[in-house]
A and B are shown apart, each in its own frame.
Chain A
Amino acid sequence: MTIRGMARIAGAYEHPDRKIPGKSIAQVHAEVALGALADAGLSVADVDAYFCAGDAPGFGPVSMADYLGLKQLRFADSTETGGSSYIAHVGHAAAAIATGKCRVALITLAGLPRSQPVPRPSASALAPEAGFEQPFGPTTVSMYALAARRHMYEYGTTSAQLAAIKVAASQHAQHNPNAMLPQPVTIEEVLASPMISDPLHRLDCCVISDGGGALVVVAPEVAAGLPRQTVTVLGHGESPKVAAGGPIDLTYTGAVWSGPRAFEEAGVTPADVDYASIYDSFTITVLQTIEDLGFCAKGKGGAFVADGALLAPQGALPFNTDGGGLCNNHPVNRGGMTKVIEAVRQLRGEAQPAVQVPDCQIAIAHGNGGSLGTRSAAATLILGREDA
Chain B
Amino acid sequence: MTAKIEFQKVSKTFQVRNSTEFTAIDEISLEVKTGEFMCIVGPSGCGKSTLLDLLAGLTMPSSGQILLDGRPIKGPALDRGIVFQQYALFPWRSALGNVEFGLETKGVPEKQRRAAAREYLALVGLSGFEDRYPHELSGGMKQRVAIARSLAYDPEVLMMDEPFAALDAQTRETLQSELLSIWERSKKTIIFITHGIDEAVYLGQRVAVMTSRPGRIKHIVDVPSDLRQSDDDVRSLPEFGRLRHEVWTLLREEVLKAQQQERRHKLGTPSIAPEAVIHG
Partners in one complex: no
